[in-house]
Structure formats: structure tokens, C-alpha cells
Chain A
Amino acid sequence: MNRRKFLSQAAMVAAATPASNLFAASRTPNLADSCGCDPFLAQSNTRDRSYAYDPDKKLASDAFRDFSSGIKITNVKVFGVSLTPRSDRPYVFVKIETNQPGLVGWGEATLEGKAASTMACVQDFRDFLVGNDPMQVEHLWQSMYVHTFYRAGPLIGSAISGIDQALWDIRGKALNVPVYQLLGGPYDQRGIRGYYHVQSIRTAEDLAHLREGALKEGVSCLKIGLPDHDYEWIETNAKIDRAVKSMRRVREGLGDSIDIAVDFHAKMSPAVASIMIKEVEPLHLLFVEEPCPPENPEAMARIARHSTTAIATGERLVAAYGCRRLIEMGAVDILQTDINHVGGISALWKVAAMAHFSNISMAPHACEGPIGGLSTLHVDSAMPNFLVQEICSFVDAGEKEKIWAEWFGFPAMRMVDGRLPLPTKPGLGFELSESSLQKYPFGGTVPMEFVWHEDGSVAAL
């Protein structure tokens, strides 16, 4: 008799004789539980049976049979979708299927530069997910995060994000309401205020064209980058001056009625960033984004305290845990956690709730695919502290936006009068067919760009 069969029979005997725990009756209880690290011992029957260790309770939903919604996860599929063969951010889409006819959920786990790892990470969660009740998203989220033991960095965070979005999609569809209603939104029926990026600008004519296009579309906010590609942690007069002057020129060119955000892309040190940010105070930028790298919240706070210019950060942070220090310090003005990395809808909602306690605004990051973008809109609509939603597109729609519109049958993540319309159908509010993705097969992992300083040393990205 194999061990598994023996255990299940033993469990039946135990169940048939109430108040007699088979193992407790036959053995002295442990003084200390074994660690389970030894690959041979871990398979033998040396551990006490308890709620904490029960080889027959495999699934997270097993303890919830009396509460089952009747829906079960039957399959988890992951798709790598490269719009171009050399894309560094193939979309990683997650599709969760259920035992209910036609009831599926979609989510996005795209992690720039790490596509194959993310797809493998989603697959690692497949065995854990299949058989569970997809309605228990908070419970499944906790199990994925906590039982991962090392908790989550960006890779595991992205995998959980894609799964979490798909589970919310299923729950909304099963309850026949759009996800934003489950979250208690919307604050504004008209949609979600958004901002576009800008393509490179060289001349005053470029700026005039941009301003005209934005005003025509009703776009109230744009985000620009800096003129140079790399910055050292101490910088020269020439480069600092160029950056400050370019921000001034953009403000002059776009006028006062368009909000301007500037992405510093974590290229600088607190020392250099502080100088620039203080100097552009009179421009009343909507915010400066990631003025220094993300690991050190105190360094970020140091920059924020030097200037009245609003500081935004957070796209590389995972889970509410990752944002705790920034929020309790209350030094930055805006958080930008990304629904594809932070841990999905569940985690973005928690970050926003916690940020609100420090009166920090939310401007979620979105530079990947359309599923994460559409998911974010639902959460945005229920945030009391929502400011503006990013979408990494331009005022003039391009090829990417055409493909998105083909997939969904509507112009996904395109603004109407400055706002991204809220999807109103049940779940996340869209249908997507696997076959429509086949035109863009997975091109493999392509790293993000490599940036070097003049002397060949590593520059931040």
C-alpha cells in the first residue's frame, strides 16, 4: 500500500471514531516540530498531524467546502505575446478557466525584461490553483504570497498580479457586476482622468503640435522625460542646466492649462535630483517621478523634503509591505504602484487605502499591456485619493493601440475628453479570444536596455 493511500484510509478511520485523534492517541506529542528540510524525512510520517500539517488538506479551499461557491478552477494558461519580435515587454497574459461553461478570467503578469521567468512563475502556481474556489481571491492571494516563504519581489509579485486580476475578473462575471462595483466605485461616472507620454520633442514646433493635439483631445496632463539618457550621482553644470532648461521650455511651450509630469526614471542620486527639483519649483509640475532609485525610502524622502515640487514613486514596489515605510513617513506626494507587479487588484486597493491615511495621492503606473491597464481603471474608480492614471501611449494612437482595439473590440485605454472610460460589463469588462493573440507569438525574453556612462560604467535605468 502506498503512503498516500494509507494516510487517506487512516483519515477515514479517524473520522469514523470521533474524539480519537489517531496520531495523538498512538504517540507522545512532539516537544518540537521537525523542520521538514530533509528531503527524505519530509516524505516520511514524522510530523504531527495538525491543521498546520495535514497531507490530506492539499488545496487552499479544502477547509471551505461548506462555503463553496460551486465554482472551481480547472486550468491556468499563460500566454507570452510579443507585438514585435524584439519587444522587451512581451505581454504575459494569464487565463484562468473554471468548471462553469464560458466562465474564464484574464489577468496580466507582464514584467519588463523577464518574460520567460514570469511565465514560468505563473506556471509554478498552476498546481496550487487548480481545484480551488476562484471566488476566494483574498485567501488565495495570502496563500500565494505567504506560502512562497521568501515573500514576493517583482517576479513573484508579477505572477501573483496576473492571477489576482484573473480571479477578480471571474468573481465579477460570476456575480454579474463590473469589478469597480465590488470595490464600491465609481467616484466619477465619466471615467478616469489619464495622461499620455510624449514622443521625443526637439523644436518649438514639436511643442506647439503636441499642445494642439492634446487640447483637441481634451488631454489635461502629459508626461515627459529628461534630455539626457544617463546621469551620474554627482553631475556637471552642463547636464543639470540642460535638464532644467528643457523642463522650462516644455512648460512655456505647453502653457499653463496642461499639467506636466517629468519622469526622472531613477537615473539620479538624491544629491543631483534635489538640485534640479528645487530649481523647477516655479514651473508647478504635477510631479517628478522616481527622482532616485527605489530601494531606499529615506533617500526618496530626503529629496521630497528639499522642495515643494510633488514627488511620485512606487512602480517597482511590491505589495502594501513594500510601500509601508514611504507611506508612514508621509514624505512623498504620490504613489504609482503598478497593478501588474504590486500584487494585482487586491494589493493595489490595499496600497491606495494605506496611502490615503497619509493623504498621499495615487497615480498608478501602466507601461505594459492593456489587461493591466483596464484592471487598474476599476481600482482607480474606487479610490478617494485618486489623482491620475498613466497610460504609456501617445496623443496620436499608433500600431499598438490598433492591435489592442482589435483584441477587445473597443479602443482600450484611449481617452475620451481626457478620461479613460470605465469598462461597464461584468468582471473586468472585456472579452478576449486566445486565437486573436496567435498573430503575436512569444518572441522570447528580451532584456530591457543597457545604459552606460561615458566611462563605460553602469548607468541607472
Chain B
Amino acid sequence: MPRVIARRKPQLLAARAAAGSEMVAAGPHSISEVRAFQMGSPGSGNSYVVLQVRTQSGLVGYGECNALTPAELKAANQAIAGRAATSYQALDALAPAAIRGGLNIALLDIVGKATRAPIYRVLGGPTRNKARAITRLNGASDEELQSDLQKQMAAGFRAFLIPIPAPTARNEGSDFAHFATARMKAMQAAASTADFAFEADEALTPGDAAILAAAVETMHPLWFDEPCPVTNIESIHKVADETVVPLAFGRTISEAGTFQDLLREGVIDLLRPDILTHGITGVRRLAAMAETYYVDLAPWHRGGRIADAAVLHAAASMPNFFIAQSSNAPGAQMPRDGFFELPKAPGLGIEVDEKSLEGNQIA
């Protein structure tokens, strides 16, 4: 009965147009402007964008996203200026994809400040009273890594990502296995109470990743981070089937459906979504799905202190959070005996020095 559709189409289109225009016209905290600042952190080598959202009620919210063009910033302003900051979920799809994660963080910062509550309380937390911490070890040799390990242990970390250097050739599996076993032993010797995860930056073949993972299984690494790129499900199956070391993927995954595929196939044990891409809400939505597979999250990012704080709020507003990785940005919070403290002030609960943004504005 095509006539049904033919008759209803104008009606449906009209309804959709009306929904767009009627949506959240104003409200007490309507958005007046979004500004963006290109930032680079000398400490971490990270490059990211700080977002500053102002409301007509005089509130200021901060977020971070990965990269933003002046055109995308302009489009975001056109799409959301004049709308209520509290409708953070409804505004998500209106803005360009590049800004969505950071915008979500900034809008939740505003909602928290408007309600005088930390973001996790806005979202029904806290679900925990502190957040387990991890940091990446720096160094090329075992000795350099051991020295960094001592330093980071003294700073309060108890869990560490051990970098696996990029391979010089493909399918050098047994070399990798020996290398990883020796490196893990060296790290465990330097800090017997610490925990370790391997990080391969998506550089291995699935076969090499599986051989490495199987070799360290009984040394109980926390997990194996990004062993190989998620090119297709079957390639990930190879690693997951041949080993029982928990596998983590996610930093480059922007589509939630990819996480869903990995979960459904039972080949992922820890989700590492980029909080700058997905925002606090996007990460929580992924957590809702992962919970039904009994899988934890450890949000990832290459941002700064705002992203660090956003991860802590996500951690305290979901049941299935495992660990927060420090940005190592200057002024980043140091953990106490392996755990980060949760912020307690309204919104993100951190102060942003506006002077640090000067001169970096994207226009």
C-alpha cells in the first residue's frame, strides 16, 4: 500500500521539522557561545582542544575534544546557541561529530554547576569512593622503564602500562614472546606488588599478539591493550581464541556498533573508548551495554586535565568502571596508594585557568 506512505510522508516531514524548531528553545541556562582553544601539553605530548561553553545565566562549562576546525566550531555554535544546556543528550546529534564528546563534557559541567552538584551526582553516583589509577611507563630499555617505575611508584601509582616497542618485522612471534616475558619479569622484580598491562599501540599482527599474550598468561597481566588493529572481527577472534589474557580495544573506535560486535562475539574484556570522542554520556551508554556482558570500561584519552576529571566522573557514575589512565598533563592529579580521589566540587570540580587558554583561540 504505497499510498499510505505517499500520504503520510509530508505529514512525517512536517512533524520532524517542527520537532527540530520546537526543541528546547530557551530555558534558564540557554547556551550563548561555544569557544575553542587549541592546546598542546608539553608534559604529555598530547594535542587537544579545550571547549568553553557560556550560558546566558553566566555559567561556564569546560570540555575537551580531539581536533576541531573553525568551520566545525561555527556549525556547532549555529546549531546549539540559544538552546538549553540541560538538554545535553538532545543537542548531541545537532553538532558536528568532532565536537560532540567535548561538548557533552562541557554541558554536563554546566548542569553540575547549575545544580551545585558534581557531575557524578547529577548522574546518580557516586558508585565508588575513589578511582583506581594507571599510568604508562616511559623508556626504551628495561632499565629505563624500571627507573620510571620507581619514580611512578613513589608518586602513588600501583598499576602500569608496559609499552611493547613497534616490531621491526612481521610475524616475529617467538621473539616477542621472549621479549615480553623478560620485560614483565624485570618489571615485577622492580615492584613486586605492582600490576601491569601490556600496550602494543595496534602494532602487532593478530598472530604475534596471540603468541605474546599466551606467553605471559600465567604472569597475570591486568590486560593486553590494543594488541592489533580492529580490522575485522575474525582477526580479533584469532587473538581472543588463542589466549585467556584479557584484551582491551577502543581508542580509535568511534562507532558504538563496533564495540557491540566485539562484545557479542566475546572477544573484548575491557572497553577503552576515547572520552573526548564519546563524552561522559557516550561512555556511560557503552557501559550500559558492556554491563550485560560482564565487561568493564577504562576510558582512554590523549587530552588534558579536563578529560582526566571527566573520566573520574564517568567512573563514579557507572558500575562497571575499572581504571583511569593519567594524562600526565602538567598539574595532573597524582594518585594515593594506587587510587585517584574523586572531585567534590560542582560540575567537573576543577578550576580552569583562563589565562592558560589565551592566544590559542580557534576562530
List A residues at the B interface (Cβ < 8 Å). Answer: 63-64, 66-67, 69, 135-139, 141-142, 168, 171, 175-177, 181-190, 256-257, 282-284, 320-321, 323-324, 328, 346, 349-350, 353-354, 356-358, 381-382, 384
Among B5, B127, B281, which residue has its beta carbon within 8 angstroms of that of A284? B5
**Given A283-B1, A284-B5, A324-B292 contact (CB < 8 Å):** yes
Tell me whether B129 and A64 are in contact (CB under 8 A): yes
A392 to B313, CA, bound (A): 39
- Name the residue in A63, A168, A184 with the highest tally of chain B Cβ atoms < 10 Å from its Cβ: A184
Contacts of B115 on A, CB cut-off 8 Å? Answer: 175-177
Q: B25 on the interface (CB 8 Å rule)? A: yes
Distance of B340 from chain A, by nearest CB (Å): 14
Tell me whether A321 and B87 are in contact (CB under 8 A): no
Q: Which residue of B lies closest to A258 (CB)?
A: B8
Q: B235 on the interface (CB 8 Å rule)? A: no
Q: B291 on the interface (CB 8 Å rule)? A: yes
**Given A142-B127, A182-B123, A256-B7, A354-B288 contact (CB < 8 Å):** yes
Tell me whether B1 and A282 are in contact (CB under 8 A): yes
Q: B170 on the interface (CB 8 Å rule)? A: no
Distance of B25 from chain A, by nearest CB (Å): 7
Contacts of B288 on A, CB cut-off 8 Å? Answer: 320, 349-350, 353-354
Distance of B86 from chain A, by nearest CB (Å): 4
Among A284, A354, A381, which residue has its beta carbon within 8 angstroms of that of B4? A284
Contacts of A186 on B, CB cut-off 8 Å? Answer: 23-24, 87, 90
Q: B122 on the interface (CB 8 Å rule)? A: yes
A66 to B8, CA, bound (A): 57
Contacts of A349 on B, CB cut-off 8 Å? Answer: 288
- Name the residue in B5, B11, B25, B89 with the highest tally of chain A Cβ atoms < 10 Å from its Cβ: B89
Contacts of B126 on A, CB cut-off 8 Å? Answer: 64, 67, 136, 139
Contacts of B4 on A, CB cut-off 8 Å? Answer: 256, 284
Distance of A56 from chain B, by nearest CB (Å): 16
Among B8, B90, B114, which residue has its beta carbon within 8 angstroms of that of A185? B90
26 CB < 8 A contacts A-B: A66-B344, A135-B121, A135-B124, A138-B123, A138-B125, A138-B127, A138-B317, A139-B124, A139-B127, A176-B115, A181-B84, A181-B111, A185-B89, A186-B87, A186-B90, A187-B23, A188-B22, A189-B22, A189-B23, A257-B11, A282-B1, A284-B1, A353-B284, A353-B285, A354-B288, A357-B285
Q: Which residue of B lies closest to A350 (CB)?
A: B288
- Name the residue in B1, B90, B291 with the highest tally of chain A Cβ atoms < 10 Å from its Cβ: B90
Q: B256 on the interface (CB 8 Å rule)? A: yes
Q: Which residue of B lies closest to A138 (CB)?
A: B124
1/0 contact string of B323-350 vs chain A (CB within 8 Å):
0000000000000000000101000000
Interface residues on B, range: 35 or more
Contacts of B259 on A, CB cut-off 8 Å? Answer: 357
Tell me whether A188 and B19 are in contact (CB under 8 A): yes
Distance of B23 from chain A, by nearest CB (Å): 6
Tell me whether A356 and B87 are in contact (CB under 8 A): no
Tell me whether A357 and B121 are in contact (CB under 8 A): no
Tell me whether A350 and B291 are in contact (CB under 8 A): yes
- Name the residue in B86, B342, B344 with the highest tally of chain A Cβ atoms < 10 Å from its Cβ: B86
Among B23, B25, B84, B285, which residue has its beta carbon within 8 angstroms of that of A356? B285
Among A135, A256, A384, which residue has its beta carbon within 8 angstroms of that of B8? A256
Tell me whether A384 and B125 are in contact (CB under 8 A): no
A176 to B29, CA, bound (A): 14
**Given A142-B319, A182-B123, A189-B25, A67-B260 contact (CB < 8 Å):** no
Tell me whether A181 and B86 are in contact (CB under 8 A): yes
A320 to B319, CA, bound (A): 13
Known: A142-B319, A358-B260; 8 extra A-B contacts, CB below 8 A, are A136-B127, A177-B114, A182-B123, A185-B90, A189-B22, A323-B292, A353-B284, A354-B288
What 9 A-B pairs are tightest by C-beta distance, nearest first?
Answer: A184-B89, A350-B288, A175-B115, A138-B124, A353-B285, A181-B86, A324-B292, A184-B88, A137-B124
Tell me whether B317 and A184 are in contact (CB under 8 A): no
Contacts of A182 on B, CB cut-off 8 Å? Answer: 111, 122-123
Distance of A211 from chain B, by nearest CB (Å): 15
Q: Which residue of B lies closest to A176 (CB)?
A: B115
Contacts of A256 on B, CB cut-off 8 Å? Answer: 1, 3-4, 7-8
Contacts of A190 on B, CB cut-off 8 Å? Answer: 18-19, 22
A424 to B11, CA, bound (A): 28
Among A137, A138, A382, which residue has its beta carbon within 8 angstroms of that of B89? A382
Q: B178 on the interface (CB 8 Å rule)? A: no
Q: B93 on the interface (CB 8 Å rule)? A: yes
A141 to B291, CA, bound (A): 13
Among A142, A189, A353, A384, which residue has its beta carbon within 8 angstroms of that of B289? A353
Q: B151 on the interface (CB 8 Å rule)? A: no
Tell me whether B5 and A67 are in contact (CB under 8 A): no
Q: B153 on the interface (CB 8 Å rule)? A: no
Distance of A69 from chain B, by nearest CB (Å): 7
Tell me whether B292 and A138 are in contact (CB under 8 A): no
Q: Which residue of B lies closest to A193 (CB)?
A: B15
Contacts of B93 on A, CB cut-off 8 Å? Answer: 384
Among B8, B292, B318, which residue has its beta carbon within 8 angstroms of that of A320? B292
Contacts of A171 on B, CB cut-off 8 Å? Answer: 121, 124
Tell me whether A138 and B318 are in contact (CB under 8 A): yes
Contacts of B319 on A, CB cut-off 8 Å? Answer: 138-139, 142
Tell me whether B281 and A357 are in contact (CB under 8 A): no
A353 to B124, CA, bound (A): 16
Q: B257 on the interface (CB 8 Å rule)? A: yes
A188 to B17, CA, bound (A): 11
Q: Which residue of B lies closest to A358 (CB)?
A: B260
Distance of A32 from chain B, by nearest CB (Å): 19
- Name the residue in B1, B23, B25, B126 with the highest tally of chain A Cβ atoms < 10 Å from its Cβ: B126
Tell me whether B123 and A357 are in contact (CB under 8 A): no
CB-CB contacts below 8 Å: B1-58 with A: 1, 3-5, 7-8, 11, 18-19, 22-25
Among B89, B107, B129, B289, which residue has its beta carbon within 8 angstroms of that of A67? B129
Contacts of B116 on A, CB cut-off 8 Å? Answer: 175
